[in-house]
Amino acid sequence: MYEEKQSGMTFIVKTITNLMIGFMLVFGAYVVLYGHITPGGGFPGGVMIALAYILVTLAYGRKVVESMVSGVTGSIADDVGALVILILGFIGLIIGGTFLFNFLPKGTPFSLFSAGYIIIYNLAIMLKVGMSLYIVFLALAILQRVVTTREENKGDKK
């Protein structure tokens, strides 16, 4: 028996996914990191990163993408993002007297490491938003398999 079960979509879709996913991840990282100079920031960048992984889920099936970033890893990354914001807030409280005080040096405008902790804050927002949307999509994709299983069971019992 030489046939193996094809999961996911057709060969064309898989080839295009292979080509596109690198660009999507790099562009998402660019939008997040340069969020204080060009339009963008943590929120659109996080959604772009989630979309890259969702593309792999749609094209290859759930098992392949879980070997890349599993549901547990996504959940932990999500929590790390939220904790980084809390830690930044408390360090700001200790140094400056107000919660979320901007304590890193301002730097020169138009360079990457300017504007205090905004770049760290953007990365934390990217982890939070991107991983949240990714794991919700994984949960909805799992549900599809359960739906078809339940309908087949009903057919067998009748």
Partner 1 sequence: MTLYFLNFVLLIIGLYALVVKRHIVKKILGVAIMEYAVNLFLILLGFRKSGIAPILTEDMDLRTFIHTAVDPLPQALVLTSIVIGLGTLALMVAMAIRLYERYGTFDMDEIKRLRG
Partner 2 sequence: MDVIFLLHLLLTFMIIGAFITVEIKNMLSAVISIGAVGFALSMTFLFLGAPDIAITQVIVEILSLILLIRATVNVDNVAIEEKGESVFHNRTALIFVGIILVFAWIAFKSLPPFGEPLMRVSNYYLSNGLTLVGATNFVTSVILDFRAYDTFGEAMVLFVSISGAFAILRRWKREQHKDFLRIDREH
54 binds partner 2 (CB under 8 A): yes
Phi, psi of 101 (to 5 degrees): -75, 140
Which residue, 68 or 87, has its beta carbon nearer to partner 2?
A: 87
In angstroms, the CA 95 to CA 52 distance is: 38
- CA 77 and chain centroid, separation: 9
Segment contacting partner 1 by CB under 8 A, of 12-20, 65-73, 83-91, 133-141? 133-141
Q: DSSP E strands: which ranges in the chain?
A: none
Question: Are the beta carbons of 102 and 116 closer than 8 angstroms?
Answer: yes
Q: Minimum Å distance from CB 36 to partner 1? A: 10
Closest by CA position to 103, among listed 113, 89, 122: 89
Among 32, 50, 56, 123, binds partner 2 (CB under 8 A): 50
Q: Within positions 108 to 147, which residues make up the interface with partner 2, using CB under 8 A? A: 108-110, 114-116, 118, 121-122, 125, 128-129, 132-133, 135-137, 139-140, 142-144, 146-147
Q: How many Cα atoms sit within 13 Å of 105 on the Cβ side?
A: 5
Which residue, 14 or 117, has its beta carbon nearer to partner 1?
A: 117
In angstroms, the CA 144 to CA 58 distance is: 12
At residue 118, what is the residue type?
I
In angstroms, the CA 59 to CA 82 distance is: 30
Segment contacting partner 1 by CB under 8 A, of 62-70, 84-92, 94-102, 143-151? 143-151
Q: Within positions 51 to 80, which residues make up the interface with partner 1, using CB under 8 A? A: none
Binding stretches for partner 2 (CB under 8 A): 31, 35-41, 43-44, 47-48, 50-51, 54, 58, 78, 81-82, 85, 89, 99-100, 102, 106-110, 114-116, 118, 121-122, 125, 128-129, 132-133, 135-137, 139-140, 142-144, 146-147, 149-150, 153
